[in-house]
Amino acid sequence: MLCDARLGAADPRWLDPAWYGAQARPVDAGGRQSAWFVQGDDWQGVLRGYRRGGLAARVSRNAYLWQGESRTRSFREYRLLAWLRERGLSVPAPLAAAYWHQGLTYRAAILVERIAHVRPLAHLLDEPVWDAAASAIAAMHRLGVWHADLNAYNILLDAQGRAWLIDFDRGTAGGVSPRARRANLLRLRRSLQKVGGAAGLAFWHRLDQAYRACLD
């Protein structure tokens, strides 16, 4: 288990939504029904269990092949978020991460700080927030980070118009090629078009122009 020092002594119950009882509220936007809003004495967080999608989910919803502690999805995401925070990127602070290893498989969960007063990009297609979103994506790419699922629900805008990037599961650091950067943008285009149709596509074209300007 990894945890932020401000939470005190590590407690695996933080990663169990049942421990919070009725205070754990499901996150209803995006995802695979595997995230909850939770809170402690002086913090608010989002608890997410790692879940499979697609055909792999038919075999197991939450078990992953064990390849060593450093390869666990929860530890990799926790460390990537901490690294990004140190470099000033607007991402949620990692609070705790854990894995449960059994035989050839493991399951995992992560707890990150909840960002106050935010709305997903998917709900803001009629507002001129493409510059803020593009700036956040460009800043991530300049740091050499690739986002595995850059979609309209993984970009959040706060009350001050600042864009935040979330859900770095399977994200990587260490360099991102022009082709990989473009793949991130095209993944976002598909997502915006899916949630907003023509309006989503028009929004993406403005965002894409702003993104190119950020990198020039």
Residues catalogued as catalytic: 149
d(CA 173, CA 181) in angstroms, rounded, equals 12
How many C-beta atoms surround the C-beta of residue 104 within 10 A?
10
d(CA 198, CA 36): 32
Does residue 210 contact residue 139 with C-beta atoms inside 8 Å? no
Return the amino acid letter for 129.
V
Per this entry, what is the length of the chain?
216
Residues 108 and 64: beta-carbon distance below 8 Å? yes
Q: How many of the other CB atoms lie within 10 Å of CB of 120?
A: 17
Structural element, H or E, at residue 166: none
Residue 44, beta-bridge partner list:
39
Residue 150 CB partners (closer than 8 Å, separation 6+): 137, 165, 184, 185, 187, 188, 191
**Residue 170, both tokens:** 């399977």
- Please say whether the beta carbons of 208 and 185 come within 8 A: yes
